[in-house]
Amino acid sequence: MGLLPIIEIPDPLLRAQSAPVESVGDDIQKLIQDMFATMYAAPGIGLAAVQVAIPKRLLVIDLQEEEDEAGEPIRDPHVFINPEIVHSSDARKVYNEGCLSIPEQYAEIERPDIVTARWIDEKGLEREGEFGGLMSVCLQHEVDHLNGVLFIDHLSRLKRDMVVKKVLKARKERDKAAIL
Ligand code: ZN
């Protein structure tokens, strides 16, 4: 398993429409494994393939909400290939979101509370399911990535520009600094 570099704003690839996965072959299986390894190492709870510079409609999620007796997160990996949100509830909910491609920035984002999705799993089987809570938030955030949409796009232009500026400033400082 290999770790893949995660791209960050303002990389234009984050604005691309990802292409459907044609078949779930060995290359996709390898990508899924590498994406989980990269997501766990980051650490994050969701990752879209485009975030590792592969614009395919594939995303992985592991909320890691439960811990074992040693306090280690219990893994609960989910793979969504060519996911589509086919229904969204009228009821909405606000959640504090972040993104591995927008480092260290968080914002309250309002989204539909409950969504129904259709997708293909890692075995190539067609699936459908209804999601609420953090899973719903995460799935909507990651599906947005496949369409070139970032969580900051759900903010006002003023707030969005502020977040982008902060990320660029932090990166500039990091590049200039002598890290000893
Ligand atoms: Zn993200």
| Residue 139: closest CA among 46, 73, 72 | 46
Along the 180 residues of the chain, how does pLDDT read in single tens digits?
689 999 999 999 999 999 999 999 999 999 999 999 999 999 999 999 999 999 999 999 999 988 999 998 899 999 999 999 999 999 999 999 999 999 999 999 999 999 999 999 999 999 999 999 999 999 999 999 999 999 999 999 999 999 999 999 999 998 898 877
Distance 180 CA to ligand 1 centre (A): 30
Question: In a 10 Å sphere around its CB, with 0-12 CB exposed, 13-18 middle and 19+ buried, how is residue 44 labelled?
Answer: buried
pLDDT at 1: 64
What's the structural domain count of the chain?
1
Within a domain: 24: yes
Distance CA 179, CA 134 (A): 36
Within a domain: 77: yes
Q: Kindly report the number of other CB atoms within 10 A of residue 139's CB atom.
A: 23
Within a domain: 2: no
Distance 32 CA to ligand 1 centre (A): 17
Domain range enclosing 56: 12-179
Entry pTM: 0.95
- Residue 71, CA distances (Å) to 22, 66, 67 in order: 39, 9, 5
Within a domain: 1: no
User: Contact, 78 vs 119, CB < 8 A?
Assistant: no
Reply yes or no on whether 69 is catalytic: no
Distance 163 CA to ligand 1 centre (A): 14
Around ion ligand 1, which residues have CB less than 5 A away?
Answer: 99
Distance 71 CA to ligand 1 centre (A): 26
What CATH number should be reported for the domain holding residue 32?
3.90.45.10
User: Contact, 73 vs 67, CB < 8 A?
Assistant: yes
Distance 50 CA to ligand 1 centre (A): 10
Q: State the number of CA atoms in the 13 A half-sphere of 91 facing the CB.
A: 6
Q: Which of 22, 122, 130, 142 is catalytic?
A: 142
> If residue 83 lies in a helix (H) or strand (E), which one and from where to where?
strand 78-88
Within a domain: 141: yes
Helix (H, G, I), strand (E, B) or coil at 167: helix
Within a domain: 5: no
Within a domain: 3: no
Q: State the number of CA atoms in the 13 A half-sphere of 1 facing the CB.
A: 12
